A and B are shown apart, each in its own frame.
Chain A
Amino acid sequence: MRVVSLAGFLMVFWLALSGHYTAWLIGMGVVSTLAVVYVARRMGVADMEGHPVQMLPGAPLYFPWLAKEIALSAWRVTRIILNPRLPISPTMTVVTAGQKTTAGMATYANSITLTPGTITVGASGDQLTVHALVSENASELEAGEMDARVTRFEGHA
């Protein structure tokens, strides 16, 4: 099932990048898709971590929220940068990733990094070490809203 989905995504990607719809080029797309799927299966990366389609249903809900968070915190960092006093209070903290899948945990860690003002600097087990530009950013993460949202987003294994 997952292999079929991977092939579908790769083929659509080929068609989108190509823009030339002749029999020869579409045929080359099919050959390339099959070759990549074959290699991915052999390498064992066509699994729920390498091709996490199980997260697709939650995406229309999660990504708009993440985009809003990114815009808001980018604006906050912008104001800090433009403030003549440069009011930063760098803080290191540890947060627990409540996700069950590795793809979910990677999504959480990367969401933290994508949001300006917080960077995931380390991960061991379900513990993520985070560097925050101001201590309020660290406290917000510790409150765990993003963690809960990613857990809802990761879907069922």
Chain B
Amino acid sequence: MIATLVDIASWALIAAGAFFILVGALGLWRMPELFTRMHAASVIDTLGAGLLIAGLILQAGFDLVALKLLFIFLLLFIFGPVVTHALAQAALHEKIEPLLTEDRRASRAHDAPGRQQ
């Protein structure tokens, strides 16, 4: 009985994770340029991977395998933003200009004198 419930919860989480990974992939394809695409990708490595790993942990049961899955999640959690940041900075460095409808950089930097990007 409990095993069935855990199985159902596990598959619900795995299916939800898969849904967000698909949405992220669709977003990668729909977004117009690099920076907006990166936003779509972040749906994949937060909710997508998170729910998927939560579902896998339920499949594994609460043992060392579950702990290792948790470590994989933490790895994604910590390296994901670092890699995203590096990619964005490399793009800006290569003078790839983001497509913007609004640019508040100049006015906002004015609030803190002497500091600009």
With a cutoff of 8 Å between Cβ atoms, the chain B residues found around residue A135 in the complex are: 101-102
CA distance A127 to B104 in the complex (A): 13
Nearest CB in chain A to that of B24: its residue: A81
What are the interface flags for A126-156 relative to B under an 8 Å C-beta threshold, 1 for contact and 0 otherwise?
Answer: 1101010101001000100000000000000
With a cutoff of 8 Å between Cβ atoms, the chain A residues found around residue B4 in the complex are: none
> A90 contacts B42, CB within 8 Å?
no
Judge if A93 is at the interface, Cβ distance under 8 Å. yes
| Chain B contact residue count (CB 8 A cutoff) | 47
Among A19, A75, A77, the one with the most B-chain Cβ atoms within 10 Å of its Cβ is: A77
> A113 contacts B101, CB within 8 Å?
no
> A16 contacts B67, CB within 8 Å?
yes
With a cutoff of 8 Å between Cβ atoms, the chain B residues found around residue A32 in the complex are: none
With a cutoff of 8 Å between Cβ atoms, the chain B residues found around residue A86 in the complex are: 30-31
| B57-88, CB < 8 A from A | 64, 67-68, 71, 77-78, 80-82, 84-85, 88
Which among A35-43, A44-52, A54-62, A114-122 touches the partner chain?
A114-122
A interface, CB within 8 angstroms of B: 16-17, 19, 70-71, 74-75, 77-78, 80-82, 86, 88-96, 109-111, 113-122, 124-127, 129, 131, 133, 135, 138, 142
